[in-house]
């Protein structure tokens, strides 16, 4: 289970798309017109900036129920576009790398990534 998910997270596709996800969840596409354009808007009660308002007990309970039901939007950490990865990090194979080893024999299309200590990679020097 862990090996399969680790491989998925280290795959070229995830590395290529991760910066877009960061923009949506923690970045500039979390609020404002960019969020609307990306269809990334949530109920106002789920945003941390809207949770400091004065409210009566019933409204506070309703707000807490909303957060427990559909979650709380994380704090916005970035205000500009997250940089895309270097091309070297998302290439499928390097010319001097050994052929990829399968992660699990019964799962097709998944291979170990190219990182220090990965199966099939030379030992670090």
| The two three-digit tokens of residue 28, written as one number | 């500039």
Phi, psi of 98 (to 5 degrees): -70, 160
Q: How far apart are CA 51 and CA 64, in angstroms?
A: 10
Question: Average of pLDDT values for 60-79?
Answer: 87
What does DSSP assign to residue 15?
Answer: H
Whole-number Å distance between alpha carbons of 57 and 23: 35
pTM beyond 0.75: the answer is no
Higher pLDDT, 73 or 50: 73
Put residue 74 in one of left, alpha, beta given phi > 0 → left and psi -120 to 50 → alpha. beta
Tokens of 60: 């506070």
Confidence of residue 46 (pLDDT cuts 50, 70, 90): confident
């Amino acid at each position: 289970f862990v090996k399969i998910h680790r491989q998925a997270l280290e795959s070229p596709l995830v590395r290529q798309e991760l910066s877009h996800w960061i923009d949506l969840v923690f970045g500039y596409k979390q609020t404002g017109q960019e969020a609307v354009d990306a269809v990334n808007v949530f109920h106002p009660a789920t945003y941390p900036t809207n949770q400091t308002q004065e409210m009566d007990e019933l409204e506070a309970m309703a707000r807490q129920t909303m957060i427990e039901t559909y979650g709380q939007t994380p704090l916005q950490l970035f205000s500009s576009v997250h940089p895309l990865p270097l091309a070297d990090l998302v290439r499928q194979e390097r010319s001097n790398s050994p052929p990829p080893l399968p992660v699990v024999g019964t799962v097709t299309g998944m291979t170990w990534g190219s990182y220090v200590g990965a199966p099939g990679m030379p030992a670090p020097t």
